[in-house]
Chain A
Amino acid sequence: MRFLLDAEQRAFADSLNALLTAADTPPVIRAWATGDRTPGRALWSRLADAGVFALAVPEAYEGVGPLPAELAVAFIELGRHGVPGPLVETVAAAVLLSELGESGSAKRLLPALASGEALATVALPGGGPFVLDAEAADIHLTVDSPEAPTRDTTPPARLHLSGSGSGPTGSARPSLDPARHLTLPHPTGELLATGPHVTHAAAQALTWARLATAAQSLGVGLALLDRTVEYVKQRTQFGVPIGSFQAVKHQLADAKIALEFARPLLFGAALSMAPADVAAAKVAAGEAAYATARTALQLHGAIGYTAEYDLSLWLTKARALRTAWGSPAECRAEVLTVHGPRSTDSAVSGGDPRS
């Protein structure tokens, strides 16, 4: 047992952090929000060159994966720098396609995802009602079932592919995070695959999407904490830095505790890739990031409440990621599927906490 990132993983994180710091993401995020994708796509291809999108793609399809721990490392950095776009969705698409192999046209589609040439977006059962950044994506994948599942049967799922422009048609709904564009899924286009293996592949993709979202959330939370710590050291009121007030310190200490206890859950989940572990990581990271966002806003005072100040780019994302790819309640329910209600005859009697 050695539950620490190794030197290579740490170097990977450092190099992404350096790349993204040099790239100065806030103008990129703002451009993406207004529909100007040029700087975002340029950044995307640099991230692809650094290997980010190859992590979920197996070697057989020109990737280096599957490497969930490295993916978590990368997505923390993407979140830390607020990188916009269908990042998680591209990972989910890659997992979906690689699980389906040739029946999902893996050879045709995956190399472009791994190399960063193509952006994908995807709608999956259990993934939430919206499709992210459909207008920006080159590949749209939709998994649905022709009928609703019943108690005893799960109808075979279908996977549809459509290209950019031909994808979701409904008008976009604004997200609380201006850098996210939401539409409703529109399962049309080429039918790539159908059957229980699609259901299975979609479940795998959902697990990866949740892991990536958890990591991205943690990164968002860490950025919010770092920025707020810097701010409260500089901002003075009553003749002293506001960071010397205990009421301020304690809120930041709580944010630190929540984020630091989400981190091991994330890496533990990346090692097991058990859906319940991933769901636990998503709850912890999402709640920690969101609580940190609330604290960050409060401690910045009014300036934090403005769109022109960069903090807003992370504040709004923390809220959006909390419910993306599985709400806290859905993820908590998933956690208890392992610790779930058993039939009464096998139930163990309750009660001894042994403090």
Chain B
Amino acid sequence: MDLDHSPADEAFRAEARAWLAAHVPLAPLPSLETAEGFAAHRAWESELAADRWSVVSWPTAYGGRGVDIVRWLVFEEEYYAAGAPGRVSQNGINLLAPTLFDHGTQEQRARVLPSMATGETIWAQAWSEPEAGSDLASLTSRAVRTDGGWLLSGQKTWSSRAAFADRAFGLFRSEPDTPKPHQGLTYLMFDLRAPGVTVRPIGRLDGRPAFAELFLDSVFVPDEDVIGEVGQGWRVAMSTAGNERGLTLRSPGRFLAAADRLADLWRTHADPADTALRDRVADAVIGARAYQLFTYAGASRFAAGEPIGPESSLNKVFWSEYDIALHETALDLLGPEGELADTDWSEGYVFSLAGPLYAGTNEIQRDIIAERLLGLPKGRR
């Protein structure tokens, strides 16, 4: 058991650190939930991609560096420690890309991945519907067979960044009369600017258009945009949903950097007599370290050939609740200034509040933990 990185991994770290030091924008970019910020983030991602730092764990053929999971973690630590911007491409990179690696065709990978790596095509996830939230399998949007492809109709909602994104991926009911709701679904990619698509941005808590509703009216999708087998969409989606909850959505580097910044804030704003607040800062530092080490342990198991199973639900609940606690502590440290909306802390706070909702609500994750990790009997759902 050891925590030391190999000299080669440390050399990789040094290379990443040097590159980031030379390239990370000095002033923070505008919020990526605005049109201006979206464009600025897209430009940043293409700068990252130009030197192959946008998707380090992907094969070189698609713009990556083919590094293993440990180096990916090292890169993420450096990325966030350098104060580099949040990733506007994250839904594509974290959800669609793993799906294509597992279930896509060679042709799909070659067509989709390179422009995802450069930020030229930004992807939105179109899973949820107004009547299908936690019970995602109850979705009703349809895919109807047509010449050379499919016609999509229905309504999707809460699609992050769809207000500014280019394309989307989602689940559609291709066989209406199956005995079980999980059957007869097909996983498809479509163009957000195709005829028949209407995108209505929705303001999140602070009014920024962080997500959108999609109205689909006979939107044509060619056969080559079906991922996996027709009718097997649920299986395809679930095999990669673990990625969203698990390692890739929230890398420990982000929380380590945030905890460091919180400790700095405490140094400059602390009332030493306020031990209650001191304890919360300490818990944030402890939590970031716990998350880092938990992830290292998971990465070690993964490297030893074990799959990432329902443990990813432990991860999801932990980081989402941790993220809120960290940002609440920062706002409380700032006192009355914590109310100001134009700070990075408050932007982070608003963002964190959604963590227990998306990527499978924490209630659903707790069910998975109880049933699949603790072996408790299934109850009514």
B22 interface contact, C-beta 8 A? no
Size bracket, chain B contacts:
35 or more
Kindly state the interface size class of chain A when it binds its partner.
35 or more
Instruction: Report B242-281 residues with CB < 8 Å from chain A CB.
Output: 254, 257-270, 272, 275, 278-279, 281
Q: Are A350 and B286 in contact (CB under 8 A)?
A: no
CB of A46 closer than 8 Å to a CB of B: no
Task: List B contacts of A248 (CB < 8 A).
Answer: 376
- Using A1-B70, A246-B367 as known contacts, say yes or no to A335 and B282 having CB atoms under 8 A apart: yes
The CA of A280 and the CA of B259, in the complex, are separated in Å by 14
Considering only residues 272-330 of chain B, those with a C-beta below 8 Å from chain A are 272, 275, 278-279, 281-283, 285-287, 289-291, 293-294, 296-297, 299-301, 303-304, 311, 314, 317-318, 323, 326-327, 330
The distance in angstroms between the C-alpha atoms of A355 and B3, with both chains bound, is: 26
A257 touches B376 (CB 8 A): no
| Set of chain A residues within 8 Å of B238, measured between Cβ atoms | none
Q: Is B106 an interface residue (CB 8 A)?
A: no
Assembled-state Cα–Cα distance A264/B84 (Å): 27
Once the chains are docked, how many angstroms separate the CA of A106 from the CA of B153? Answer: 80
Q: Are B86 and A283 in contact (CB under 8 A)?
A: no
Does A243 contact B377, Cβ atoms closer than 8 Å?
yes
B126 to chain A, nearest CB (A): 23
Q: Do the beta carbons of B294 and A260 come within 8 Å of each other?
A: yes
Say yes or no: is B332 at the interface (Cβ < 8 Å to chain A).
no
Decide yes or no whether A6 CB sits under 8 A from chain B.
Answer: yes
Query: Is the CB–CB distance between A1 and B2 below 8 Å?
Result: yes
Residue A64, interface by CB 8 Å: no
A252→B376 contact, CB < 8 A: yes
Contact call A1/B3, Cβ cutoff below 8 A: yes
A9's partner among B1, B303, B347 (CB-CB below 8 A) is B1
A354 interface hit (Cβ, 8 Å):
yes
A353 touches B290 (CB 8 A): no
Chain A min CB distance to B16 (Å)? 16
A233 touches B377 (CB 8 A): yes
Asked whether A342 lies within 8 Å of B267 as measured between CB atoms, the reply is: yes
Give the contacting residue for A2; candidates B278, B287, B300, B344; CB below 8 A: B300
Task: Say yes or no for A253: interface residue by CB 8 A criterion.
Answer: yes
**A342 closest partner in B (C-beta):** B267
CA distance A229 to B301 in the complex (A): 25
User: Which residue on A lies nearest to B268, using beta carbons?
Assistant: A347
Chain B residues whose CB sits within 8 angstroms of the CB of A332 once the complex forms: 278-279, 282-283, 286
Chain B 209-238, CB-CB to A under 8 Å as 1, else 0, gives: 000000000000000000000000000000
Interface centre among A254, A261, A262 (most CB of B within 10 A): A261
Q: Is B366 interfacial (CB-CB < 8 Å)?
A: yes
A65 part of interface (Cβ distance < 8 Å): no
Cα distance A283–B282 in the bound complex, in angstroms? 10
Interface residues of A in 221-279 (CB under 8 A from B): 225, 229, 232-233, 240-241, 243-246, 248-250, 252-254, 256-257, 260-265, 267-268, 271-272, 277
Q: Is the CB of A257 within 8 A of B318?
A: yes
Write out the residue numbers on chain A whose beta carbons fall within 8 Å of the beta carbon of B335. none
B343: chain A residues at CB < 8 Å are 351
Flag if B376 contacts A333 (CB, 8 Å).
no
Enumerate chain B residues within 8 angstroms of A342, measured Cβ to Cβ: 267
Does chain A have a CB within 8 A of B351?
A: yes
A328 within 8 A of B: yes
Q: How far is the CA of A350 from the CA of B346 in the complex (A)?
A: 13
**Most B CB atoms within 10 A — which of A240, A328, A354?**
A354
Residues of A within 8 A of B (CB): 1-6, 9, 69, 225, 229, 232-233, 240-241, 243-246, 248-250, 252-254, 256-257, 260-265, 267-268, 271-272, 277, 280, 283-284, 328-329, 332-333, 335-336, 339-342, 344, 347-355
A–B Cβ pairs within 8 angstroms, 26 of them: A3-B293, A69-B1, A233-B376, A241-B377, A244-B379, A245-B379, A249-B370, A250-B367, A253-B374, A254-B366, A256-B369, A261-B291, A264-B294, A268-B289, A268-B293, A332-B286, A335-B282, A339-B266, A347-B268, A348-B264, A348-B267, A353-B261, A354-B80, A354-B85, A354-B344, A355-B323
